Amino acid sequence: MVGAGSWGTAVAVLLARAGADVTLFGRRPEFVAQLARERENRTFLPGVKLPDSLRLAAELPDLGTLDWCFCGVPTRYIREQFAPFRGRVPQSLPLVSLAKGIEQETLLAPTAILRDVTGVRHALTLSGPSHAEEVAAGLPAVVVSAGDEILARALAELCSTKTFRVYYSRDLCGVELAGAAKNVVAIAAGIAEGLKLGENTKAALLARGLAEIARLGVALGGELKTFYGLSGVGDLYVTCASPFGRNRAFGRRIGEGESPQAILDSMEMVVEGYYTARALQTLARRHGVEMPICDEVCAVVYEGTPPREAVTRLMTRSLKAE
């Protein structure tokens, strides 16, 4: 596992508990030493004991000895983190992305970044409604693996336990787009919470946000049914509703009057939706897809539009059939 953030740590713990031989790699030696000493990731996943069998490393392992390599790095850092892997990764080694975002500069999804950087043949994703805190606590969760069908099924078998069920899919495009875009809608839902606009407003944002995501996803080559499954509506709901959702929390603080940059500066974890919003907007315009919620999130977080003004613009758009 490359990346010792909350989700990377949670999946490493999940696999180690299931009996897999797992090494958790962190890029900062002092942080890795702290994890080894305390057997707990107090920064990103406090209260969860690291299994004794889980190895920790601050140096890249011999990749030729691995059966799988998981990427628990936020989208905007994948290229930088995996650059040292260039020329060291066997082309047959499957890489598994846990990230949910779109690279701003290239508009690539995480698996495409991994393939671009490393030259591997197969990169898959593991996505769906799965907050790290609940998975690490052993609460039931159901997600989806996507990519090459044979490998996606093998990945599902590797990760599935009594409390963590994995379906598999060939729709890599749809699963990744859904996972990235839901973070932008979650920011909008959080803004609505901060403005105290009520549950009707949040329900509308989720429903119309899902419609936006599906329109773009299909335009990019995804399958419509994907957006009404675990990685679509399932992940969208939990990200907009869960107290663990940092994109929702980011939006709520904006709605309460804080500036986006001040909030980002105060948060230890990466707010993927902030960086995805602009890339999503660019993709939508390139493919002629309307995404008014995404547009207004961009206006608020990048252009300083007052949140209430953005809501008014959404509510007063021209009427049309659903």
From residue 112, how far is each of 73, 116, 133, 317 by CA, in Å?
A: 14, 6, 27, 35
Q: How far apart are CA 287 and CA 308, in angstroms?
A: 29
Nearest CA-CA partner of 70 in 135, 12, 6 = 12
Residue 56 phi/psi, 5-degree rounding, is -125, 140
Task: Provide the residue ranges of all domains of the chain, joining segments of one domain with +.
Answer: 6-170, 174-315
Q: Does residue 225 carry a catalytic annotation? A: no
Q: Which two tokens stand for residue 50?
A: 């690291």
Nearest CA-CA partner of 246 in 173, 166, 319, 189 = 189
| Pairing between β-strand 164-169 and β-strand 141-146 as defined by DSSP bridges | parallel
Q: Which CATH superfamily is domain 174-315 in?
A: N-(1-d-carboxylethyl)-l-norvaline Dehydrogenase; domain 2 (1.10.1040.10)
Q: What is the pTM of this model?
A: 0.95
Given the residues 182, 196, 225, 320, the one annotated as active site: 182
Q: Scanning the structure block, which residue is given the tokens 């197969």?
A: 122
Q: Which CATH superfamily is domain 6-170 in?
A: NAD(P)-binding Rossmann-like Domain (3.40.50.720)
- pLDDT 10s digit of each residue in the chain, 322 long? 999 999 999 999 999 999 999 999 998 999 999 999 999 999 999 999 999 999 999 987 778 889 999 999 999 999 999 988 888 889 999 999 999 999 999 999 999 999 999 999 999 999 999 999 999 999 999 999 999 999 999 999 999 999 999 999 999 999 999 999 999 999 999 999 999 999 999 999 999 999 999 999 999 999 999 999 999 999 999 999 988 889 999 999 999 999 999 999 999 889 999 999 999 999 999 999 999 999 999 999 999 999 999 999 999 988 888 8
